[in-house]
Structure 1
Amino acid sequence: MTDNAVTAHTAPTSITLLGTGTMGTALARAWLAAGHAVTVWNRTPARAEALAAEGATVAASAAAAVAANRLVIVCLLDDASVGEALEGADLTGRDIVNLTTGTPAEGRARAAWAEERGARFADGGIMAVPPMIGDPASGAFVFYSGSAELVEEHRATLAVPAGVNFVGRDAGFAALHDVALLSGMYGMLGGVAHAFALIRGQDIAPKELAPLLQGWLNAMSSLVHVAAERLESGDFTTDVVSSLAMQAGGIGTFTRTAEEMGVSTELLTPYFDLMRRRVESGHGDEDNAGVIDLLRVRGA
């Protein structure tokens, strides 16, 4: 369940924020605007000066910033930079919330690392770009995983910049959810790129195609739920509307059209290859959900 941004009646909390890049600055400004006391640190001190002018306290070192408050938010470049920033700090009794983009394995390892040093830990995956932060109407939210107690205690504070969506005690689940959603986005953008490439140089304005393309993608979005149901039930053939065999039979139309338009098929070919493999293995009566298991590496 995702919470909306905190209400004006929430008591302000003192926060430490490590990292004042574009996202970190947006987070800090959201908390400052909500009346929270924010101590910030950045490896390049000049990048924290603007926040100092807006009321933030700038710490001389990461260790000093961590010592200033129990709740410590980390938003740095990568997992290695998180380790470097926190290495010399006393984490005993601290609540560490890591909003640095990473992998599931890095989230789990960092959780164990923090807990060994006496801290509670939650990992986070931010589903937003900086302009969305602090705007309840933007739909921004953050996946959290790890210490449920930490997230629940600080839920109102964490909800100030973006909604809170706790996805489990496995500290790797926030990163896994983050990358799963972004992977879907990039797959969609690949299809969008191919669609626009087809009409380039033709008497079709991109702005004319855009609403048609968006409407079609919206209409097809329900297939996400169909795939989920099939994966959970193991039934890939009931109520199939468009069989994989029929779809695979039409691949040539897509490749020939691309050739006629002078467009590479490199964004579509990998998926088409999976469709063909599934059909050739005797599953032509299924729909597209069956190709998902072809992506899993043997033994994974």
Structure 2
Amino acid sequence: MSATVSFKVPTPYGPQSMTVSYARVGTGEPLLLLHGIGHHRQVWDPVTPVLAAEREVIAVDLPGCGRSPALPDGLAHDLPTMSVVLAALCEALELERPHVAGNSLGGLLALDLGRANRARSVTALSPAGFWSPLERQYAFTVLTGMRRTAERMPLPLVEWLSRSAAGRAGLTSTIYARPGRRSPESVVAETVGLARAQGFFETLRSGREVRFTDDVPGIPVTVAWGSKDRLLVPRQGVRAKRIIPRARLVRLPGCGHVPMSDDPALVARVLLDGSR
């Protein structure tokens, strides 16, 4: 069920209230799910039913994405700020060191929560932050192009394209290896959400200097990478393993950058194993 929670976060102008939209289902140990830049929590829908059989699943719309309002004035769209926001969110939802899983930007955020000892385990799917300068520039150029295209496309055209497998591939093949598996409604919602995501370009700008270079000791860490990731290439997973030597590195055969719909059974298993 969709819900919202409001809580206070510190800003240069004093504490300000912010609201986050989320869905919470299932029973068991809590598992917090974080999506990537410009996406929304529904990207986890293909794996949520399996996860909810063993975990209390909390999927959130990050600030400025989906149904969550943007960050309050005075807060930067950067990694330190988002870590503070997510810590406050967990406190508001009474989640004491949940398992955390994330994809892309969400994977970077999950690892940062683990580094700060705010997670009991971390599973990162194609996490940001393990790129070389050229790889980061390539990824940001692709993401900028995706955003500009989404902004310029009239809704009727998006809806028309989404009705065919070829059209869905044209809209989403950069992040999905099997875009035909996405429903027309999902593709429309993702494209519109990307076009409207607040803080998108501020997040990209803040990411120019981001490199994840620290170990995440003391908790189980899983890093999983799709073999057909066209945005953050799979060799970045090898770098992640060098930086976090105790991490379990998992290959996701046939999966793209956002693997949850490419192979829901495999991804759900990886998420459950990572949070045991």
Per the normalisation by structure 2, the TM-score is 0.30
RCO higher in structure (CA 8 A, sep ≥6): 2
Task: Point out the structure with the larger helix share.
Answer: 1
Structure with greater Cα Rg:
1
More strand by share: 2
